[in-house]
Structure formats: structure tokens, C-alpha cells
Structure 1
């Protein structure tokens, strides 16, 4: 069935869509959907664009950026991993020009790409783009480890890494695949990656406000985002990271309209219909993941070509519906844990297909959970202070087993706190997660966990210190064997 779906998608993508749309999606209808979503979630700001055929149905911004400025259709926002579609396109352009062969080893065009694992010499360009290179978060900590400043540095940092699987035998979503691909574009073209995208993608499509950034420090205020503890937007900086090639593109609703139209009309001015088909062709190993795009179906069963993007403080989503000619892109300035871009986009897609839109997401449950955890954190602080006072006033002398058990219970929250990122990594199917990133995923929970860890250690130290003082000669402290 996957190959039948792929064939249908390629045929539809190669020529303008002519199918009648079941829903009458208008600018006013899109506005209403966005307003409802923002009212239900408190989403601070979002940019939305919908195209159909060669026309822009609607491109607009709503709300405000973290610096308080209104978001418009020309406000640059982070598209996160949607950037992979741009990087893959750049590589396919080079392949069409005869400078790169997709099924040749990467090292043939990028000799600096070396790894500790000898199998890496066989990684092909295509395997980078469809995420079957064998590189994985499980063998290289791209997110939590040291961060590069340039694409060259990022590729050099891969030298001590190993592979989790032989190239071409397993699929694993791993951002360094696209970092290497972007560096390949730089070396083969002789241009910085940002310059190449400007000259060969953005300029031909008249995406005049689009660019690409290397690190979090390069993000303009409009491309930063928020967390939502207790349901209130809190502007926070993106964690230190390097994202060019895999997640560094900054774009606007107006510019993304041009990008979506090109995707629905044979590649427009940037790639041939054959190249566009190449970008949308997965392999049996990669499953539904092609080259910077994923193949799926909508809730109504129509084929959709899509890619989501997640930063810690913002999200993005793009979709092309070949059967109806619609294109949708959403950039939201809340973090990955809230999923606003994908949720809102799927609501718009349902409306475009004339389907009943899903109910508006509610943050009530999250707000209540945050409130409960914050109240628990306050209780933990008060209880810990009481424990310290009791240790000072009535030190207890226990046997070694009871003392050890008591201290173990008090120190357990610290151990959980220090290892929580490994638990989250396991829940996220092995994706690399750093300890500080947990404050972006679960800010109030981490406040509670840290309060428990600090409180437990403080009480444990107080018990040890004042127990020793109470048993030291000449201290004159009365030991109470019945104090808890």
C-alpha cells in the first residue's frame, strides 16, 4: 500500500491539481479557526498561510512575538525541522546539476566527513536525507553534548562518533544527517549554506524575508518563543544549540506561501518535476520518510506530504495536499510540549477537506496539574524547613541501618532529579535529551522535583551534622530517642 500511495502522490505532484475541493476555505474561516485555537490555548503568537493551486488563500500573523511586537505575514519565525525540506531540495538541485550523486558515498563529495566507525565510509547522500545513515541519537549526543558554531565544526565533531546500525539498514531521526548534508552543499557549491539557499531557493521563489541561522544566538526576537507554565506565556531563550541544515531556516507566512505553491506545482523555479518526485520517494527502510518530507494521509484518507518542526520554544508544520492543491504552513511561538503548530494545521486541513474540525484543545488539565505541582513544591519547601528545625532542636541517634535507610529516602529525590533526562529520553524512544532541557518540557514539574531534591539533601545534612554534634563530648545536648 505504501508504494501505491507513493505513486499516486508523485503523479499528482507533477501537474497542477484540478480536483474540486469539498470545503470552501476562506480567509474569514481561517481567521475564525485561529482565533478559536488561541482563545482555547492562550497561544501568544502564530503565523498561518494557506494556498490553493497558484493562489494564496490567506497569509496572516496573529498575536505577538516575545518582544511584544505584532506578528504579521512578514514576521520572520523559526520553521525548525521544516528546514530539512529546504536542505534536501538544495542537495537534489546539486544532483540535478550533476555535481552530486544521491546514491554515491557522502565522502566522495565531502572528504572531511569521517567517523570512528569504518562503516561510515559507505553512507550515501540519499541515506543522509532519508535518515537511514545509521547515525543515531543513541550513539551521538547531538542535542545535549557540546555545540558547534559552524557547519564545518559540527561535521568535525562527528569524528569520534559511531553508528547504531549499518548504513541503509535502519531508520533513525537524527539531526546531524542534515547538518552533514548542509555542509556538503557548502563544499560542493563553494558558497556558505545561507548564501546558497538565498541564491538558489529563496531568491528564485521571491522569499525575500527568509534566511537561515546557525545557532540560537542568531535567532531574532521574533523567532524566539514561550513556555506556558500555569497557562501563562513566559518568554524564554532557546537553549544553546546548533541548528543549521537541520532546523535553522527562518521564514514568514508570505514567503512560505511561495514555497507551498512551488511544492504543489511541479517544483516551480527551484527544482524539476523529476527532482520533486525524488524528494517524495521513500525507501522500504525509511518507511514513510522520504527526503525531508513524510508521506501520510489526512483524517479523511487523502494523501498528504508533510513535515513538522519542533524547537524547545516554538513549533512549525507544513503540509501539501496534492489531490486538492492545498498547502498549509503554521509557525507558532510555543514550545514542542504544546504542539500548537501541528494541532492548528490539522484543524485547518480538516476545514479544507470539508470535514468536521476537531474540538479545540484545552489547556485546563495542564493548568490544574501545574497548580497542583506548584502547591506541592511549596509544601515540600515548608516540610523541609520543618525537618531541618527538628534536626537542630532534637537530634536523633539511630542505629546504622535505620540511619542509612532514612538518608537513602531523603537522597532519593536528588538521584531521580539528576537522572530524569534519561527517563525522558527513553520515553521519547531514545532521542537525545539534556538535563536542562527538562525545564522546557516540564517546567513546573522540574521546580517540584528540584524542591524535593534540595529539601531532602538539606534535611539529610542537618540530621548528620547535628547528630554528630549531639554525640560529641561536652556539647551538652540531650539526645531524644523518640524524636522522628
Structure 2
């Protein structure tokens, strides 16, 4: 079946009401058609209605644009994905010298660099923002050897942004605009906050500190310029995000027939580079920039994005030319996304997204001491403890800049609910509207005590037992 504009509009309105989301935008791709609908308000402060041409912050969906720019330079022979980053950025430094010398461009694209990745730094508004950022992360610690495990790395994409600047003799935002947004004819996509002003645009919403059940407008709109290649530069409508995705569904050719990428390079970007352990949070594997998954027997690609009080999701089935982009103006809309994805894909293709493993009837954990300890990455630490009843709890301490801007609530003694999968638990954060899968693992020996905790797409290294 195909969805009508009225059906999609009605469903989106129902979803924002049931999930308490101020406003949302939805674009659905069906063959060669894109249907765009909107519901709710852009801001609880102004009450301005969401329109289909309004601009949201797609967040890390913008990493796909960065990855595409890298692949365009690779196609021109200016970058070899399998050469070390220092081939092109001789001043690139991280704390571990072996990692510094061996991390490849492919490692950065597939989040397998092994160095910590959520470093958000204000290095100014100038054209040297990325150059200064690279200097500031020279002491970034390593949590694993390059190419060994997957751990989502925002910092890695700012390194890629600087790579684009140096190899392409430009600045990142100019490359994004001139090499992608303009050739694709994206009328509702911009790269700087001041470019947003002529357009209707959404603001983020965060829980009211005095009433966590209510929302207030986020006091900060976007991240720093140095975070641009992570996805912070892109401001776009949901429809434009889908129009960008069509470049990768159409073998690298734009709507007017211009070729931006070779078909074999587009296909290679959708080939698995590494499998994920927490595979119900994002997907089952990662490509060159892309989340790779299956809904039933249907291959799906996409990406999610978080900004300050905004949350976006994009999934498309390339072979069936079906998919969607959902943009919302709350910081966590995972449960809304999951309900919408199931409704759309089951109605159109008879499949649904993969589900979390079912919780076990008891929270008592056999050999709970096996997991107790501190697991850490840059800017965030998990303290896993055993409760008196034999269950496990997690206390989370966030110290990175984005956490400070979000004014996060305490996250103490959160229950870890064991599920029907070894060494896996469901954990719900007070800032999230949905449980997320937490997986303990040891990449060297599955039977040994875990050396990492994977949660929210990030690996946290065990530092205290």
C-alpha cells in the first residue's frame, strides 16, 4: 500500500500528542515520490506552527554529508581511505602514538579509530575552528587499538572535516554548500545559524528543571563551529534530508542527472565494515558513514541525530526505494521513532524494525560481581554496582561540554534489567523516553570478565574492578 498525505498528517499529529512532542516534521519516500507533512509547533514559546519547509537540526545525520564529501575527494584521487590520517594531516595527534600513526580514513568513517569521541570544544567562529580543534584533541586517550572495536566518535568526524579542508583547499562549510547542497538543489538546507534567519525554524526543547514532565525552550540552540562535520553545521528540512539520501539510492546521480559519485563507491559505502554489539539501538552494522540494518529481510540504511533539544531519524530501504526522515524538537524521541518506523514499514513492506531482547522475569543477576566496576570514556563514566537484592545498578556521571549545556539531571542507581541475551541489559536514562540496550563484552575472550560496557553507541572501557 501507499500512504496518502492525509494519512501521514493524521498519524504524525497522533504521535506528537501521544509522545508529548511539541512539533515534528516527516518526509516519506515512496518510489519517486516524497510526501512531506508537519504537526505541532516550532517553539512552545512562540506557538508558531511547524511547516514542511521549516528547518530543524538533523544533528548527526549530517555525518553522512561529511562522509559523502570524503568519498567525493577519494574518487578524485585526493584521498586513499586506507592510508593513515597523518598522510594528509601531518600535525594530527592523539595520546597513543601507535594510534596516531596508524588510524586510517576508513577507521574514522566507520567509527573504529579506538580513540575517545565525545569532545565538544568551542574553538571560535573563525575559519580556523577545525584547525584549532585538531590541536586541542592532541591528548585524546585511546580506549582500544584502531580497527578492533566499534565506538561512535564525534571527534573522528571533526578530524574528517579538517581533512576535507586541507585536501580540498577550502573550509568545511563551503565544501558542504558548494559540493553537496547546491548541486542537489536543496532549497531548505543551510550551514550557518545566520543562514537560518530567513526560514521558519525549530528550536530545541528540554525538560523543565522545575517540572521534569514539562518542556521549556532549550537555552542553547546549536553546538560550536568545530562540531560542524559531526553534524552541527547542517540545518535542514526533513524533505531535504530525504533528497540528499536519494543521491545514495540513485548510484551517486542527482535529480538533474549530474554524477557526484561513482556507483561502485556508493555501493561500497553501504557494505558492512564492522558489526555492532548493541544492535537494537542503531542497527546491526556500520558502513562508511551509514548505519546498516535489516527490518525483517529488508536491507535498511540510515542515521540518527541528536542536537540540543532536537532528535532526528532517517531510515530508507534502497532496493524498495521506501523510507522516511522524522525530525522532532525534543531531545529524546526514540519511542516515537520506533512506533512510526514500525507503522510505516509494516504497512508498506510487511516488516518491522528489530526489537530489544525481552526482559527476564527477575532482575537478580547470576555472578553479578562479574560486572561490578567503573567503565569510562572521555567525558562520561558508568559506576556499576550490585544492589542488596542481587540486581545491578548504574550511576552515570557526564562531564563533557554538551552535557553541561543540557543541564542534565542526576543519574544515580539506575536499574539494569537483564534480558534474554548474554551479558545484556536494558537501561533507561531520565533524559530518554525509551530503554536502551547495554552490553558488557570482552573483545579478546567472550568467556572472560567484560572489559567494556557498550551503551548509547559508545564503548566504555573498564578501568576499576
The aligned residue for residue 82 of structure 2 is 103
SS of aligned partner of 1:335: coil
Residue of structure 2 equivalent to 1:370: none
Structure 1 residue runs of 5 or longer lacking an equivalent are 1-22, 359-419, 447-484
Secondary structure at the counterpart of residue 111 of structure 1: coil
Change in Cα spacing, 1:130 to 1:328, as seen in structure 2 (3 Å) is same
Q: For the residues of structure 2 that align with 1:357 and 1:118, how far apart are their CA atoms?
A: 41
| 3-state SS of paired residue (2:9) | helix
Please give the per-residue CA displacement for 1:100-134, whole angstroms capped at 9, x wherever unaligned: 11111111112231223211111111111001112
Rounded to whole Å, the distance in 2 between the matches of 1:428 and 1:193 is 39
Q: Counterpart of 1:232 in 2: which secondary structure?
A: strand
Look up the SS of the partner of 1:207 in the other structure.
Answer: coil
Tell me the distance in 2 between the aligned counterparts of 1:272 and 1:351.
33
For residues 443 and 304 of structure 1, what CA distance do their matches in structure 2 show? 35
**Which residue number corresponds to residue 331 of structure 1?**
327
Q: Is the 8 A contact 2:103 2:146 kept in 1?
A: yes
Counterpart CA distance in 1 for 2:316 and 2:396 is 29
TM-score when normalising by structure 1: 0.65
CA distance in 2, matches of 1:151, 1:278: 28
Cα distance change on mapping 1:303 and 1:179 into 2, 3 Å: same
Change (3 A) 1:220 1:315: farther
1:69 aligns with one of 48, 51, 66: 48
Match of 1:200 among 179, 183, 188: 179
1:280 alignment partner in structure 2:
270
Deviations 1:203-252 (A, max 9, x none): 1111122123599x999982431124554331112487432111211111
Q: Deviations over 1:49-77 (max 9, x none)?
A: 01123221x11222221243222121111
* Conserved 8 A contact 1:227-1:236: yes
Distance of aligned partners of 1:431 and 1:288 in 2 relative to their CA distance in 1, 3 Å threshold:
farther
Note if contact 2:110-2:274 (Cα within 8 Å) is conserved in structure 1: no
| 1:127 corresponds to | 107
For residues 217 and 85 of structure 2, the distance between their equivalents in structure 1, rounded to whole angstroms, comes to: 40
Q: Cα RMSD (Å) of the superposition? A: 3.5
CA contact (8 A) 2:239 2:325 kept: no
Contact 1:316 1:342 in 2 (8 A): no
- State the match for 1:176 in structure 2: 155
Q: CA–CA distance in 1 between the matches of 2:198 and 2:341?
A: 24
Deviation at 1:310, TM superposition (A): 1.7
Displacement after TM superposition at 1:162 (Å):
2.8
Equivalent positions of 1:38-53 (< 5 A) are 38-53=16-31
Structure 1: how far apart are the matches of 2:80 and 2:352? Answer: 45
Aligned pair count reads 355
Task: Show the counterpart of 2:245.
Answer: 260
Is the deviation greater in 98-107 or in 30-39? 30-39
